[in-house]
A and B are shown apart, each in its own frame.
Chain A
Amino acid sequence: EIVLTQSPATLSLSPGERATLSCRASQNVSSYLAWYQQKPGLAPRLLIYDASNGATDIPARFSGSGSGTDFTLTISSLEPEDFAVYYCQQRSSWPPLTFGGGTKVEIK
C-alpha cells in the first residue's frame, strides 16, 4: 500500500499570503496525484489532478507541481474561502487508492 504523508499538519496564515502544502509518497506514483479541498460538513472537492492539472472551475490561484514521490499544492494568495482541509490522493498503485492525512489551513 502506498502511504501519502502530508506536511505540515496545520498551516496558520493570513488572507493574501501564499500557502505551500506538501505531499510525499512512500513509492513512485508518477504523476497520478490529486488534491482535494474539504470544508466542514461538506464533501471533498477536486482541485488538481495528474499532479498539475486544474479541475473544472478551480481558480487559477491553486496550482500543483511535482512527480514521483514529492508533490506540492500552492495557493498563491489566500482568499477567506480557502481556509479548509486539503488532502492528496494517489491512484498509481491500487487497490487501495489512498489519501494523505490532510493539511488544515487556518486563519492566523
Chain B
Amino acid sequence: QVQLQQWGAGLLKPSETLSLTCDVYGGSFSGYYWSWIRQPPGKGLEWIGEINHSGSTTYNPSLKSRVTISVDTSKNQFSLKVTSVTAADTAVYYCARGDIAAPGAPLDCWGQGTLVTVSS
C-alpha cells in the first residue's frame, strides 16, 4: 500500500521560497506522474505541476515562472519549490500520484497536506 508523506516549512515571509518534499513509501516510483496541488483556505483545488520518474516536468502556465519540481529516485521522493511567495500563495499544499496506466491518469494517492502560510 503506497503512502505519501510530505514535509516542509509552514510559515514564510513574503519574497521567500516555499520548499516542500514528498516521500513515497511502499510502491514503485516509475510508471506514475508525481504532482503538487494546492488549496487556498476555503477554496477549490489548483494543480501546480508534475514530474515523472525520469525527471520530465509539466507546470501550470499560471505558476510556471516561479515553480520548480524535482525528483530524487534514489530516495523515492519529489520536491516543490515556489519562489517569491506572497499572501496569495497561502494554501494547503498536497502531493499526489497520477497513475499513467489508467485512462486520464487519475490522482489515486495523496499526501496528508501541508498548510503553508505567507505572512510578514
Which residues does A use to contact B, with CB under 8 Å? 1, 31-34, 36, 42-46, 49-50, 53, 55-56, 87, 89-92, 94-102
Contacts and interface: CB of A to CB of B under 8 A. Distances in A.
Contacts of B104: 31-34, 49-50, 90-92
Give the interface size bracket for B toward A: 20 to 34
Interface string B81-120: 0000000000000101010001111111011110000000
B44 interface: yes
Contacts, number: 74
B47 A44 contact: no
A32 to B, nearest CB: 4
Interface of B: 35, 44-47, 49-50, 58-62, 94, 96, 98, 102-108, 110-113
A31 B47 contact: no
A45 B108 CA distance: 7
A50 B103 contact: yes
Nearest to A34: B106
A90 B105 CA distance: 9
